[in-house]
Chains A and B, each alone.
Chain A
Amino acid sequence: MQEGFSYMAGVELPGVIVSVGRGGPGLGTIQPGQADYEQAVYGGGNGDYRVIVLAPNSVQEMCDCMGKAKELTFKWRMPVIVLSDGMIGQMMEKVVLPPFTPRRTDEEIAKQCPWATNGIGLKNRQYNFISTLELDAKEMEARNKRMTAKYNQVEAEEVDFELYNVDSETEYLIVAYGISSRVSMKTLEMLRESGVKVGMLRPKTLWPFPNKKINELAGQVKGILCVEQCEGQMVKDVRLATEGQAPVYLSGRSGGMVSSPQDVLEDFQKMASECATKSCPKGYWMK
């Protein structure tokens, strides 16, 4: 499967992939999971390439994501993965459908997608070919450099996240996406009721990742809890983003099990008590 993503990225072909996670590895279970974070964010196909990864956390967002994914994939000409999980994927919620967008006309394709291989206007243009092959290493490197420049631009422009209860008083931070963010919202409410100054950052794009914001908040908070339904994948990116300014703990279940708000609460309390008794020297990043 990811062989195709690598090819698409290599020829800068737009495309949207929807991945709805279950418990793994292998056939695993058919219950919800978020263990495909690394598969989506770090590609899995061969070569230097990136894909934009969107992480919806409601049925409405799942729906909106498709339009956004289409827009992004044509804007940047790179694959976009909508990474969801079995819980969001099977949830029933109210949804407002966007207006129907008709298919591009031949004229629009010729104008907006001059790279398309459909023969249109061939007599008045050089023929198009979509190919990943480049046997000249120097040329291939130049192609990679060009794409890296594009990826850097995507990282600068397309990071998307949401903050809940984050202000200058925030002492603890939860980082969660997809179903984990829905569960964590409940935990957040429970903690706020008991007076704990905790906020949440929910990445809406997993690549590009909100490194800058996490880094900024890491300098302010005593501890960060990363909630995800796997044995710890996004947590590593959160740790990298903090650059050792705050300890990052993991709260998660896997194999198809989904954390309850109580599970997250218990992990939070454990983290908070450890962070309160330990100082966090520069460079501390492991739990």
Chain B
Amino acid sequence: MITKEELIIPENKVYGKPSLMNDTPMHYCPGCSHSVVHKLVAEIIEEMGLEENTVGICPVGCAVFAYRYLNVDWIEAAHGRAPACATAVKRLWPNKLVFTYQGDGDLACIGTGETIHAMNRGENIAIIFINNAIYGMTGGQMAPTTLMGMKTSTCPYGRQADLHGYPLHITDLAVNLEGTCYVTRQAVNTVANIRKTKKAIRQAFENSMNKKGCSIVEVVSTCASGWKQTPEQANQWMVDNMFPYYPLGDLKNTVTE
């Protein structure tokens, strides 16, 4: 009979925590997509061997503390300014991997101008865009990405077009900008989707290193706390309501096509 000691040997290891992730306990709520995407980012940087060649730009929002969890150099930008900050870093350090990590309140509302122009200028940066359709950190307020009819703390009767306008499909806008080379929408609710998201982020990071233009990876995400649901309900709600509005898949890829 095989003993525990015989089983736990390096050759048998199939999965481990990426070395770039430190032991700081995460502040994210159960069921939140952030932690999964953080792990993917850490894995990819490690796999690409870019530990000493990466600068991350964190947003304002739940991921404001991204710098606590991943052992790479970080700059925390003001609300929405991450793509402008990333532009400066990438232009100063053209051979480094420069990525922003932003939520929808940060990217698609406060920083719409910065986002659109950085993408349109074709800055060689990767943008990771976590879209959970609300302002998660501040208590679930309506965002430009909030779905029609969706109830939030600032539209308790549901989003109405005449009062609140329409959801902003900023990733779809990115497709039409000449500066973008890779535009994709993914999710991390299933193992298969996590793998696809990892592949997408890796592609975006490679584009930044190879100076192919601006890449944006939208990750349609859950906010169980903000949506007032359990983690399981949130995942299901996302599949039923978010995916029809924000369908998954590559929207543009001028690099591999």
Contact = CB atoms under 8 A, between A and B. Distances in A.
Interface stretch (A55-63, A122-130, A143-151, A236-244): A122-130
B67 interface: yes
B76 A121 contact: no
A117 interface: yes
Given A129-B67, A131-B67, A119 B74 contact: no
Interface residues of B, number: 21
B88 to A, nearest CB: 11
Interface stretch (B48-56, B211-219, B238-246): B48-56
A118 B64 contact: no
B73 to A, nearest CB: 4
Contact of B55 (A4, A117, A123, A132): A117
A122 B78 contact: no
Interface string A93-136: 00000000000000000000000111111110001111111000
B73 A122 contact: yes
A141 interface: no
Nearest to B20: A127
Contacts of B150: none
B71 interface: yes
B230 to A, nearest CB: 27
Contact of A122 (B52, B65, B67, B93): B52
A7 interface: yes
A3 interface: yes
Give the interface SS of chain A, mostly helix, strand, loop or mixed.
loop
Given A118-B93, A118-B96, A122-B71, A130 B76 contact: yes
Contacts of A7: 78
Interface string B39-69: 0000000000011111100100000110100
B96 to A, nearest CB: 6
B24 to A, nearest CB: 12
A129 to B, nearest CB: 4
A3 B60 CA distance: 14
A118 B67 CA distance: 14
Interface in B69-118: 71-76, 78, 81, 89, 93, 96
A131 B76 contact: yes
B73 A119 contact: yes
B73 A118 contact: yes
Given A127-B71, A131-B67, A118 B76 contact: no
Contact of A129 (B75, B78, B81): B75
Contacts of B58: 131
Nearest to B64: A133
A118 B55 CA distance: 6
Nearest to B72: A127
A130 B74 contact: yes
B50 to A, nearest CB: 8
Contacts of B72: 119, 122, 127
B78 A4 contact: yes
Given A127-B71, A127-B73, A129-B73, A119 B55 contact: yes
9 contacts: A117-B73, A117-B74, A119-B52, A123-B52, A127-B72, A127-B74, A129-B67, A129-B73, A133-B65
CB-based closest 5 A-B pairs: A117-B73, A131-B76, A129-B67, A129-B74, A122-B52
Given A122-B72, A127-B71, 19 more contacts: A4-B81, A7-B78, A117-B55, A118-B73, A119-B50, A119-B53, A119-B54, A119-B55, A119-B73, A119-B96, A120-B52, A122-B51, A122-B52, A122-B73, A127-B72, A129-B73, A129-B75, A131-B75, A133-B65
